Amino acid sequence: MVKTLPKVPQLDISQSYPRTVKLRGKSLELRQMGPKDRDAVVAFARSLPEEDLLFLRMDITQPAIVDEWIAAIEQGRRFTVLAQRDGALAGYGSLNCQNLTWSRHLGEIRMIVDASSRGSGLGALLAQEVFSVARDSGLTKIVAQMARQQEGARRVFHKLGFTVESMLADWVIDRDGQTHDLVIMSYDVTGLTDS
């Protein structure tokens, strides 16, 4: 008897967005990213300091790359929640699913928050949004990857309950051609609880 494998999770949670939340007394709009957000995302990326762009897995300052991101969202392989304050993009959290049979239970989280919003709890809020989607989609583990030098990012993920799975020497190369160690952290989604 041949056993049927579960399908790759399809990410569709449009019923939860858009919505307004308060964070430290300031209103933010959370909404799902779509095609109309292309130019805003490119402008947001281009406004980031160079050190923020140094280790991005995709060069989201390029419109064609953001178009690929939007196509993945439309195909249900990626979910991205945008956070806007006063009409300007303040950050995003993204969950990326694999099409590969052997890693269909994994989702990868990618996040970035603009410099003026750091320390406000926005990163934790975006991570919680992504965690909820991961849980509802049937994913069992979320991974985050970063260069070893990104100590701030490692601290944020550690505070969220991620643990280091491995460190790979000279695994990533930055925009200047220098190699760096890659840290892989993970979080067991099945251990999440609503609070």
For residues 35 and 161, the model is more confident at 35
Domains of the chain, earliest start first: 14-143+152-161 (3.40.630.30)
Max distance between CA atoms of the chain, in angstroms, equals 58
Phi, psi of 79 (to 5 degrees): -125, 135
Among 6-10, 14-18, 22-26, 103-107, the least confident range: 6-10
pLDDT of residue 121: 84
Question: 101 pLDDT band (50/70/90 cuts)?
Answer: low
pTM (2 d.p.):
0.81
Q: Could you read off the pLDDT of 35-88 as tens digits, one per residue?
A: 999 999 999 999 998 878 777 888 899 999 999 999 999 988 899 999 999 889
Q: Are strands 141-147 and 106-113 parallel, antiparallel or unpaired?
A: parallel
pLDDT of residue 120: 83
What residue spans of 75-150 are helical by DSSP H? 122-136
